[in-house]
Each structure stands twice: as structure tokens, then as C-alpha cells.
Structure 1
Amino acid sequence: MRSSNPALAMLCTVALAMACTSTLAQNSPQDFVSPHNAARAAVGVGPVSWDSTVAAYAQNYANQRKADCQLVHSGGPYGENIFSGSGRDYTAADAVNAWVSEKQDYDYNSNKCAPNKVCGHYTQVVWRSSTAIGCGRVRCNNGGIFITCNYKPPGNYAGQRPY
């Protein structure tokens, strides 16, 4: 016996399309740029804009990490922040918020991270002379998510404050 329910089929199709659109919408260029610019505005630094050349570089590198999802820097010509996570569908905002959360461990007066803490991802996000970004995201073979953002020009120069 064959069962056909066009309304149910249409509902499933719409739900699937919405799920796919939702994931894509959470990883658009604007989804990367907006939290960067919010963090920068909080310390009086001008905005970054999306650079398609930098984004192509970032996506190419993310694709190279698909096999292992390891936090290994590309060693390329741009500043770079990398993020990897498993257990859920991490988004652009998740990665940028993780980097920005290091703000609490950065001491502007000494221009250093708190002892035994990391803050270089945050300082790259707010680096005054970095004015363009491009980011890439990939689901790795192990099911994890790898995200990278590259910055032009690069920041995090020793002895210099980010802003």
C-alpha cells in the first residue's frame, strides 16, 4: 500500500530548507564582521570590512584542515585566528566570541596577557591597523568544526599595543 501526503512532504521540505538556510545565515560574511566590529567599537577602534581575497585564502586553508580539524596556523601572509570545536554546529559568532572573551585576560597598561592566560586572539580582533578580514569554516571529517579568520594587514606585533 502506498501512502502519499503532499502537505507532510511540503512541510518536511520547508523545514529542511529552513535548517540549511539557518546554518548558512549564521556563517555569512556579516556574521563574522559584526561581532568583530562590536569588539572593536568597544575600545574605540574603527571597523573591519570583508575582503573576498582574504576570505578565499581563509576558506582554502579551512578546507585543508578538514581531514584533521587540528589547530595549526597556516603560516600565511595574514594575521590569523583559528577555532575548532566538536559536539555541536559551531558558528561564526561562536568563534569570534571565543576570541573576544580573552579581553578579560588582556591588560592594556602592561600590554600583556594575565599570567598563564592567552589573549592574542583578542588583540588580533581589535588590532587598530587590521582593516579587512576574511574567514572560512568547514565541517571536518571527524564531525568537528574548524573556523579561521585572517586579518589584513596582520597585527600582534611584539611591543605594540593593539589600540
Structure 2
Amino acid sequence: MGLFNISLLLTCLMVLAIFNSCDAQNSPQDYLAVHNDAPQNYANLKTGDCNMIHSSAGENLAKGSGDFTEREAVQLWVAEKPNYNYGTNQCASGKVCAHYTQVVWRNSVRLGCGRAHCNNGWWFISCNYDPVGNWVGQCPY
């Protein structure tokens, strides 16, 4: 290998090392924290009454007893899938499916969730979606 090729290779390796060290400064948790802060703050506000009243953000809310987790909340929302008819883009009569359609909304690519223990012993879960989905007249996927 010629001196030029070795120099080029070393330069490329140094540039790659610099880029990787810059990326390492931002952990995945740093990225998630930005998206989790708002729903966590909202969940914290609900500990007094645990009432599921939506904020202005695109969100799904759930509450449960025991050790109710975010994973269980998402499973509840996804369980609404049989209630959704893609052909008509509507929920079955008398059924709920809007939580499901928000979970699978094609343009919602960022998710943040928060969980708080309410004074009545229940857990309150809030998950925000960005960009917001569930636009009237649009199919989720």
C-alpha cells in the first residue's frame, strides 16, 4: 500500500472516530427524555383524581390497578383493532377504536409516555404522539 493510501485510510478512520464520539454524547435515553417529559408531567397532574381528561396534545390515556404499566396500556389500545373497519375508516357501531388508530397512525413517528400513581391507588398512563394523528377522514395506514 502506498503512503497516500495509508494516509487516506488513517484520515478516514480518524473522521469516523470523531463522528462516533459525537454520537456517543447523546444517549438513546436523552432522546427519549424529551418525548417523555410532557406526558409524565401531565400524568403527575392527574394523581389527585386520576380522571381521564385529554389535554390538547395528541394522546392516548389509560388507567388501571395493580402494577398497571405503559405496555399494558398499549396492549389495551391495540386490542381495539377488531373494532376498526379499514374499508369504511370507522369504528364498529357502539365500539371504540380511536386509541388503536392513533397507535398505528402512519405519520406518528415519535412517542412519549408517562405513568403516575393516583391517590386512589390506580395508575394513570399518558402517551403522546408526534406528529399527532387521528385526523378525521384520513386512514391511519
Same structural fold, with TM-score higher than 0.5 when normalized by the shorter chain: yes
User: Which runs of structure 1 show a deviation greater than 4 angstroms over 4 or more consecutive aligned residues?
Assistant: none
> For 1:137, which of 101, 115, 122 is the aligned residue?
115
Instruction: Determine the structure 2 residue equivalent to 1:52.
Output: 33
Matched, 1:82 2:55: no
TM-score by length of 2: 0.76
Shift in Å, 1:158: 0.3
Distance 1:52 1:159 in 2: 32
Distance 1:58 1:92 in 2: 12
Amino acid at match of 1:144: W
Distance 2:112 2:140 in 1: 19
Amino acid at match of 1:131: V
RMSD (Å) for aligned C-alpha atoms? 1.6
Q: Deviations over 1:20-45 (max 9, x none)?
A: xxxxxxxxx99xxxxxxxxxxxxxxx
Amino acid at match of 1:152: D
What's the secondary structure of 1:146's corresponding residue? strand
Distance 2:113 2:136 in 1: 24
Structure 1's unaligned 5+ residue stretches are 1-28, 31-49
> For 1:72, which of 50, 53, 56 is the aligned residue?
53
Percentage of identical aligned residues:
54
1:1-163 → structure 2 map (5 Å cutoff): 51-76=32-57, 79-86=58-65, 88-163=66-141
What's the secondary structure of 2:79's corresponding residue? helix
Structure 2's unaligned 5+ residue stretches are 1-27
Aligned residues: 113
Shift in Å, 1:74: 1.3
Amino acid at match of 2:36: A
Larger Rg: 2
Report if the CA contact (8 A) 1:131-1:152 is conserved.
Answer: yes
